[in-house]
Structure 1
Amino acid sequence: MGKSTKKQPPTTPANISHSQGDLTRFLDKKSKQANTSEESKMADAMRRSPSPAGSTASGYSTTSLPQDLRSLFANLPTKADLNAVAQTIQEAHKADIADLRKDLQAIGDAQAQLEVRLEKAETVCNTVFDRVNDHHRYLYLIKKQMEELDNRGRRNNLRIRGIPESVTQAELRTTVCAIFNTILGKAITEPLELDRDVAIFPDLAWLTLQQRRALKPLTTTLREKEIAYRWTFPFALIASKNNRQFSLKEPAELESFCKALDLPDIKLNDWTDLAYNGDLLDQLCTDYWIPAHQRASRGHRSHTATPRSNME
């Protein structure tokens, strides 16, 4: 009598698996997310905590590394090896620096000897130049003496230019008398008598005439400055200014002569060539370098005192 109950049919595993299969897509997603979060947490923990000895950052042991990589690490140079290489390089550099120092010493000694020889050669050359210049002056003085003797022998001579070559030596006296009588306004055959003042210029030597011609630029300047001058014998030019006389006898005195008379610089190259056969020789000047022995006495660094290396 009671209520009749209707029995439910028993569930079969197939039905259970079917229902689980329907839920798997939801459950797997959650489980995957949980697994992913757990792995990320483990990775963060491993990054924060140091790796134990014998393991890598990924957690794998170094014993699992390949054999060739371990041998490569074992063959890396140590600190002792690097120190040995540095010591070898330092010793090689010391040897090279020692050789360079010897070469510099040899070059310095050779330069010092060369400077001493050059100084001696300079002294000898200057002495030779002085003697050559003196010889030029002596030759000029000799030429002046010969010029003076020539002028003395010509003082009583009268030079008549323009007589044709057709006049013979026998007819020369008659021809000269005729010329002088014509100048004096007398008959040609009348005896020659100089009864009035006649300006007769002396017959000068060839060197005297050439020197006066070479000094023409100077005499022209003197006339422009209204400075009186005159020629003397032996050859010289004497100028007067402010009651003082200044003489010019050779080209070497030209500069001082012009300064004394307040004249501009005048170059008389023709006179220099005529008197000295060219310009006088100038002495050698080597003031731009200091000999080795003078450098040592003045406190300069000598060749032997080469800079020392810090590697010693």
Structure 2
Amino acid sequence: MVRNKKPHTLGGTPHRPTGTLDEFVCTPSTLSCSRPPDNMAPGSPGSESAGEPTLDGTQDDTLALIKQELAMISAQMLTKADTGGLLRELRAAVKEEVAALRKDLSSVEVRVEALETEAQASRAQHQAAELATTRQGNMLLSLRRQVEDLENRSRRQNIRIRGLPEPDTAPLQDTLQALFRQILGEECPAVIKLDRAHRSLGPQRPDGRPRDVLCCLHDYSLKERLMTAARGMADIPFRGASVALYQDLSGLTLDARRALRPLTTTLREKGIAYRWGFPFSLQIRQGNAWIQVRWPEDVPRALRALRLPPIRIRNWLLETPLAQLHEVAEDGRPPSPTRRRERAQRMLGGPRGVEE
């Protein structure tokens, strides 16, 4: 007995029967394809048309339906004229939008140019105002130095005496005559002419310290002799008190000297000679030359020249307490001269002295 042969396979896949052509062309719902029965004999009458499909009336209906669908689709499709019209409308809309955008850009460009012009004009005005402010500031500083120098020159015949007991039963003129005779000794003239002499302005101090005495000598040379003699004395005992004589200076000069106190203290510790100049300046000796400090900007240069470490010095031109003297009272009225004088004495650490 011979075994049946296996169907031919391609690539290991079993062969599937493809069927007749009617199964691919005709659908079960629209076309009925007849196949002769398997048990029909080869010579039967139906075997002659076994390879041709049998079509009924539904095929014509299907074709008509397909044609109708194609006609509807063709009717819904855009024609060349329609496409051209849409393109023209789109081009017109884009052109209109671009024109509006160009107009807006032109307007923005004009506004930007106007703003740039205004900015340049404002920058030029700001630079001019800054230059004018700088010049005015320099002029004010120069005027301040001149006023300070004039005030110091008007006080050059004044002597400030500190430590004279208060109250004193004797007249102030007689007390000063006795003090000056003690300082000058035999070189003192018989009569010392004083133009005026009085205590510093303001009330008595609550701590009991005596107020300074200000006197103006008629003879400038005699005043210089007194200051030279007093400078050589470490202490001047007079009527049970220790008295000191000082040059009467303006408030601006005193404030500048206070600001330079850290520098002068360092100079004394290092044994470097210095002196005060007029108009205001600090003159420091370096060999055979003198280094002058007239402005706050001169301090770092002087420290480098003297090879000293950096010292923080307050800017006495900008951070002066005298700027607060021009403040107004709470009621909007300027303070009275007495109130300004008292405030100046508190800020400067003492009375300002005689103002001529």
Normalising by the smaller structure, the TM-score range is 0.5 to 0.7
Q: 1:272 aligns with which of 318, 322, 341?
A: 318
Q: Which has the higher strand share?
A: 2
Q: Deviations over 1:193-226 (max 9, x none)?
A: 98x9431542221110011112334545666777
Aligned partner of 1:92: which letter?
A
Distance (Å, rounded) in 2 between the aligned partners of 1:85 and 1:236: 91
Superposed counterparts of 1:33-52, under 5 Å: 40-44=20-24
For residue 277 of structure 1, report the CA deviation from its aligned partner.
Answer: 6.7
In 2: Cα distance, 1:112 partner to 1:225 partner: 65
Q: In the alignment, which residue of structure 2 is the partner of 1:96? A: 97
Once the two structures are TM-superposed, the CA of residue 114 in structure 1 deviates from its matched residue by: 1.9
Report deviation, 1:249: 2.3
Match of 1:137 in 2: 138
Q: Report the more deviating stretch, 223-232 or 90-99.
A: 223-232
More contact order relative to length (CA 8 Å, sep ≥ 6)? 1
Look up the SS of the partner of 2:152 in the other structure: helix
Distance of 1:71 and 1:104 partners within structure 2: 49
State how far apart, in whole Å, the 2-side matches of 1:131 and 1:258 are: 32
Q: 1:109 to 1:75 in 2, by over 3 A?
A: same
Q: For 2:97 and 2:72, how far apart are their aligned partners in 1?
A: 38
Match of 1:300? none
Q: Which residue among 283, 286, 292 is the counterpart of 1:238?
A: 283
- Of 202, 207, 212 in structure 1, the residue corresponding to residue 252 of structure 2 is 207
Distance 1:106 1:146, change over 3 A: same
Deviation of 1:274 (Å): 3.6
Instruction: Tell me the matched-pair count.
Output: 226
Q: Is the Cα contact below 8 Å between 1:248 and 1:254 reproduced in 2?
A: yes
Please state how far the C-alpha of 1:116 moved relative to its aligned partner. Answer: 1.9
Query: Per-residue deviation at 1:120?
Result: 2.0
Paired residues for 1:98-177 under 5 Å: 98-163=99-164, 166-167=167-168, 171-177=171-177
TM-score where L is the length of structure 1? 0.55
Instruction: Output the CA distance in 2 between the equivalents of 1:82 and 1:221.
Output: 98
> Cα RMSD between the aligned structures?
4.5
- Which residue matches 2:293? 248
Tell me the CA shift for residue 233 of structure 1.
0.7
Q: CA deviation at 1:162?
A: 4.8
Whether the 8 Å CA contact 2:281–2:292 is kept in 1: the answer is yes
Instruction: Look up the match of 2:85.
Output: 84
CA–CA separation in structure 1 for the residues paired with 2:59 and 2:263: 113
Distance change in 2, residues 1:136/1:114 (3 Å): same
Query: What is the distance in 2 between the residues matched to 1:221 and 1:112?
Result: 60
**1:235: how far off?**
0.9
Alpha-carbon distance in structure 2 between the residues aligned to 1:119 and 1:125:
10
2: CA distance, partners of 1:75 / 1:46: 29
Contact kept in structure 2, 1:237 and 1:249, CA below 8 Å: yes
TM-superposed CA distance for 1:138, in Å, is 1.7
* Structure 1 residues 246-282: Cα deviation after superposition (integer angstroms, max 9, x where no partner): 433234555666666666485634432349979xxxx
Task: Report how far residue 119 of structure 1 moved.
Answer: 1.6
Alpha-carbon distance, 1:172 to partner: 0.5
Secondary structure in 2 aligned to 1:77? coil
Residue pair 2:159, 2:248 contacting (<8 A) in 1 also: yes
Aligned equivalents of 2:317, 2:259: Cα separation in 1: 5
**Residue type matched to 1:124 in 2?**
Q
Residue ranges of structure 1 left out of the alignment (5+ in a row): 1-36, 48-57, 279-312
**What's the CA shift string for 1:26-60, capped at 9, x where partnerless?**
xxxxxxxxxxx89643234789xxxxxxxxxx966
8 Å contact 1:136–1:276 — kept in the other structure? Answer: no
**Normalised TM-score (structure 2):** 0.49
**Does the 8 Å contact 1:251/1:275 carry over to 2?**
no
1:145-202 CA-partner distances (Å, limit 9, x unpaired): 222222223223221235577558x8112233455678899xxxx99998x9431542
CA–CA separation in structure 2 for the residues paired with 1:277 and 1:135: 17
Asked whether the 8 Å contact 1:215–1:271 carries over to 2, the reply is: no
